[in-house]
């Protein structure tokens, strides 16, 4: 349905702050952005939002919807491998479809309530989450996760069938090789080749922990000591003392496919050069890193890169999936690097940055003619309308719109 949105301010990372403008929506897309005096001549139904600010919908670029139930069962842990060992054991012993679907519904509800209109979902339960995602009407980059334990799915024929069954107008199917330590080198290359054949995107957890760095260098590490004893198929991985996790992907000639890299907490000098040379998209999950007692992302290097996105990760490694909490945390730990432009930059990362990480920047992430009408509006509570967003709670969101439809 065609409509006009009116608010005191419209903010877009590309255009800055517009006062007393309207957004004209035709069907599910932004048709025009006009001064209110001009839009008043258009005979569409109006949604008047008063003293509020409209921005692009938030993009949670990395989330595990289905792992809510894990949070209550975790025992204290000291490091990432200790946490991962628990996750593997819990997932092995708790595989009930009803429980998984309930977790997905809860996570979707938390996401949408905090202004998220697009997610980068990492699906590890073979499509059990698809119907709930479709029912929610959220936009989704759907990353189908593969590790050595799911190699029966790692064929072109099977993944092409999976692509056809899931891919749709709001769900965009991708592949997600879990990590460099959970797949044979041969199978990692194979998955990248399948993605290239299907012309679809890729993502991978990378350089999340110090033990991952030790693992790929062939040094003593807790993956060898704690994790692989739990696996039926121990990964056969090419290791070298000169490798970093990113350097390993480079050695395998996999960076040219522009995979979205998740976390990237441990960066060498050469890693930084490779990130810049290949212009690699990176999604950071800072509260998850803090939860797992791991190193935080190098914000001094990453924070001003154009294709940096923000994710909550799953409730298995975070205290909430409220995206406003994640935004506020990033705001607080980035202030020393961004000075007076902190709010603007954090909002850009939470919208356009996430869209770039999911390769959706031509469709969402900004308020521009021709893009999908994925929009949110916040009540203005301070002199600076952008700080109203940073300090907002769910109840301050006056509008949530996905694909031109008010949610």
CATH domain 3-57+366-406 topology? Urease, subunit C; domain 1 (2.30.40)
Res 356: pLDDT: 98
Hey, what are 193's tokens? 């080749």
Query: Does pTM top 0.75 for this prediction?
Result: yes
Domain residue spans of the chain: 3-57+366-406, 58-357
- pLDDT at residue 233, rounded to an integer: 76
- What residues contact 211, with CB distance under 8 A and at least 6 apart? 79, 80, 81, 221, 222, 223
Q: Alpha-carbon dihedral of residues 23, 27, 30, 32, nearest 10 degrees?
A: -60
pLDDT of res. 349: 97
Would you write out the chain's pLDDT as a tens digit for each of its 407 residues? Answer: 899 999 999 998 777 899 999 999 999 999 999 998 787 778 888 999 999 999 999 999 999 999 888 888 889 898 999 999 999 888 888 777 888 899 999 999 999 999 999 999 999 887 889 999 999 999 999 999 999 877 777 788 888 998 999 998 999 999 999 999 999 999 999 999 999 999 999 999 999 999 999 999 999 999 998 888 877 778 899 999 999 999 999 999 999 999 999 999 999 999 999 999 999 999 999 999 999 978 889 999 999 999 999 999 999 999 999 999 999 999 999 998 887 789 999 999 999 999 999 999 999 999 999 999 999 999 999 899 999 999 999 999 999 999 999 99
Structure-token match 């998209």, residue found: 281
CATH of 58-357 given 3.30.450.20, 3.90.1150.200, 3.20.20.140, 3.30.365.10? 3.20.20.140
Rounded CA-CA distance 203/262 in Å is: 7
Q: What is the dihedral of CA 89, 94, 99, 105, to 10 degrees?
A: 20
3-state secondary structure 59-94: EEEEECHHHHHHHHCCCCCCCHHHHHHHHHHHHHHC
Tokens of 329: 């945390």
Sheet holding 139-146, edge to edge: 58-63, 116-123, 139-146, 171-177
Closest CA to 231 of 66, 67, 91, 79: 91
For residue 272, the tally of other CB atoms under 10 A from its CB is: 14
406 sits in which H/E element: strand 405-406
Alpha-carbon torsion angle 133, 170, 188, 227, nearest 10: -20
What pLDDT does 400 receive?
A: 98
Nearest to 262 by CA among 172, 174, 165, 159: 174
């Amino acid at each position: 349905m065609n409509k006009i949105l009116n608010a005191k301010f419209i903010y877009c990372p590309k255009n800055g702050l517009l006062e007393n403008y309207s957004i004209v929506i035709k069907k599910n897309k932004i048709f025009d952005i006009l001064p209110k005096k001009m839009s008043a001549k258009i005979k569409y139904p109006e949604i008047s939002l008063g003293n509020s600010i409209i921005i692009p919908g938030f993009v949670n670029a990395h989330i595990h919807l289905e792992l809510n139930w894990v949070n209550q069962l975790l025992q204290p842990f000291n490091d990432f491998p200790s946490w991962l060992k628990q996750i593997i054991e819990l997932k092995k012993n708790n595989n009930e479809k009803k429980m998984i679907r309930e977790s997905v519904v809860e996570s979707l509800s938390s996401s949408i309530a905090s202004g998220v209109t697009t997610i980068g979902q990492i699906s590890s339960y073979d499509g059990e989450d698809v119907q709930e995602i479709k029912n929610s009407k959220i936009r989704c980059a759907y990353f189908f996760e593969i590790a050595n334990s799911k190699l029966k799915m790692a064929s072109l024929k099977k993944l092409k069938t999976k692509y056809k069954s899931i891919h749709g107008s709001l769900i965009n199917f991708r592949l997600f090789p879990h990590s460099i330590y959970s797949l044979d080198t041969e199978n990692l290359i194979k998955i990248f080749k399948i993605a290239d054949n299907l012309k679809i995107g890729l993502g991978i957890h990378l350089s999340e922990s110090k033990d991952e760095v030790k693992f790929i260098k062939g040094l003593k590490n807790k993956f060898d000591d704690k994790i692989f004893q739990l696996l039926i198929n121990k990964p056969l991985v090419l290791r070298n003392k000169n490798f970093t996790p990113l350097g390993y992907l480079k050695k395998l000639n996999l960076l040219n496919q522009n995979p979205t890299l998740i976390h990237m907490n441990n960066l060498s000098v050469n890693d930084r050069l490779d990130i810049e040379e290949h212009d690699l998209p990176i999604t950071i999950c800072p509260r998850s890193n803090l939860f797992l007692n791991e190193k935080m992302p190098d914000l001094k290097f990453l924070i001003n890169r154009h294709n940096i996105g923000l994710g909550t990760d799953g409730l298995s490694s975070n205290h909430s999936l409220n995206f406003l909490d994640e935004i506020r945390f990033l705001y607080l730990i980035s202030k020393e690097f961004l000075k007076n432009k902190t709010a603007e930059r954090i909002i850009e990362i939470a919208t356009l940055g996430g869209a770039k990480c999911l390769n959706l920047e031509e469709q969402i992430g900004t308020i521009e003619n021709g893009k999908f009408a994925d929009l949110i509006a916040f009540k203005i509570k301070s002199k600076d309308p952008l700080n109203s967003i940073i300090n907002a709670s769910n109840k301050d969101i006056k509008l949530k719109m996905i694909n031109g439809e008010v949610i």
